[in-house]
Amino acid sequence: MSTRFSPITLILACFGLILQNFTFAAGQDITAQVKIDEKTGKLAVPGRLSPNAAKGFRRNIGFIRTRQNILQISEMTALGNDGRPVNLTKLSPTEWVADADIVSWKYTIDAQAALGSEIRAGNSWLRGIHGVLMFEDILPAFGINGVPVSAEIEIKMPEGWKLFSSENNVRNIIRTADLGNSVAAVGSGWESANVRTSAGNLELIRMGSWGPSTEEMSKASAEIFNNYVDVFGSPASENGLIILTRRSSPAFDEWEAEARGSTVIIASSDATLPGLSIQRLHEQLRHEIFHLWIPNGVDLTGEYSWFYEGFALYQSLRTALQLNRISFNDYLDTIAKAYIVDVGVGQRRTLLELAKDRNERHGTELYARGLLVAFMSDVALLQRSRSSSVENLLREVFKKHHRSASAADGNTAVLGIMKSRRELVPIVRRFIEGSEKADLSDAMKAAGLRFEADSGRQMLKVVEKPSGRQRAILDKLGYNNWRKSRKYQNEN
């Protein structure tokens, strides 16, 4: 499942008084304020820990650092239990250690100095009168990794600005149970639309005139969201937000996307060919909206990206087929390309090992084999029962581990569900727990597919005369979907 920053300051005279006047919201680990100064391009951030928050971790103030995001933080001060300043030693540009437990703090972020005005999808940015704030970026990280931190955050903005968030938001005060997954868009001039969905509330906002129209963007979002409601049921969060921005880079065909909590962020440049814009947006939305259910809507922990990325890619293909956004040949071509990637890997590791490795050079391998595992699982399930498919598997993972359930290890949970289906046990052992090269022979035989050399590379094709059983599986995979759609259109 990248973004950036830009400007904002705060003039806090009497800082001590401000901290003392913070009234702590019941049940929240952190109470904070983010004040945006449009003129200076800085953020002023006073905040306070609740008495029971981050016990044993109150002597460090640190911030999430990514390859793209190194904050410019200044004027860092903190108060202790007695209300007096504590001494802070700066260990790095984004980390301080105190000589006593920290109760409250204040600091200034010069976002623009650190990141310029480049618009990305995975971290905070502010550019002119538009911005996206990811609170994991701009608030300190207290406590243990992976443990959600609750917060109440007041956003103070220039006159005329608005706040957009899928979180509980009253008078620009956001209350969240998980700071790491909380996002807000701020500014003036955002174009917004309420997207009609079959479950929950979905809002779409866009910055600038680029690519498809707002109406086209809303329609694409609605049909994808509703398709996933049919697969999973209602999403974990009642409210969702889609943020669409134009990248500041002048290059064509560059984009980034990310799903945080119940928010999808896409930062995209223009397509080389105007007609490709809506197709590319549809592709981006299919993948990221999937993540509103898995992994963002389940209480699963650990490194199991082989599942939620690989199966997201595959389900995105199935959704595109169902919505007639791609042809069946496009579907097969994507699977063939993933197969070529996987069989070309020399030093092989299991998918479980690849998921633990955050080195980007292994990302393509993980995505490719994850997609192939999803395809093989889909065909195996369809072969055993025409009423079962990979969608049943995804639905069970979501239903069993919805946010209301207790936390569980992602690999243990997913593999347990897969192994409960006898036909998937060999796939798990050979290609997930094991490191064998992808073997599509069983799936190809069941679905009536064959490899054929075309222009120097291997292509997946449907056999000339599939059997009745093969035709039934092909139909379930989406082979005849365009015919059904055309018949429906002719009848209506």
- Of 10-19, 229-238, 267-276, 461-470, least confident by mean pLDDT is 10-19
Helix (H) or strand (E) holding 353, with range, is helix 351-356
Say which residue, 100 or 16, is predicted with more confidence: 100
Mean pLDDT of 257-272: 89
Span 266-273, average pLDDT: 80
Higher pLDDT residue, 93 or 17? Answer: 93
The reported pLDDT for the residue numbered 489 is 44
Nearest CA among 305, 293, 295 for reference residue 371: 305
Identify the weakest region by mean pLDDT among 218-227, 306-315, 361-370.
Answer: 361-370
List Cα–Cα distances, 202 to 48, 195, 212, 238, 285, in angstroms.
32, 5, 19, 8, 13
pLDDT at 485: 56
How does pLDDT run across 325-346, given as a tens digit for each residue? Answer: 999 999 999 999 999 999 999 8
Range with the poorest average pLDDT among 114-118, 247-251, 376-380, 414-418: 114-118
Residue 69 banded pLDDT, cuts 50, 70, 90: low
pLDDT-derived band at 247, boundaries 50, 70, 90: confident
> Of 31 and 3, which is predicted with more confidence?
31
Give me the helices (H) in 128-213, please: 135-138
Quote the CA–CA distance of 280 and 123 in Å, as a whole number.
22
pLDDT for 58 beyond 90: no
Q: What is the pLDDT of residue 284?
A: 94
Q: Output the pLDDT for position 40.
A: 84
pLDDT at 2 over 50: no
Tokens 């972020």 identify what position? Answer: 109
* pLDDT confidence bin for 477, thresholds 50/70/90: very high
State the Cα–Cα distance between residues 393 and 378, nearest whole angstrom.
9
- H or E, element range at 408: strand 408-409
pLDDT in tens, 277-289: 889 899 999 999 9
When pLDDT is cut at 50, 70 and 90, the band that residue 148 belongs to is confident
Q: Is the pLDDT of residue 12 over 70?
A: no
pLDDT of residue 21: 40
| Band of pLDDT at residue 442, cut at 50, 70 and 90 | very high
pLDDT at 30: 93
pLDDT band at 65 (very low <50, low <70, confident <90, very high): low
Residue 366 has pLDDT above 90, yes or no: yes
Q: Collapsing DSSP states into helix, strand and coil, what is residue 180?
A: helix
pLDDT of residue 110: 84
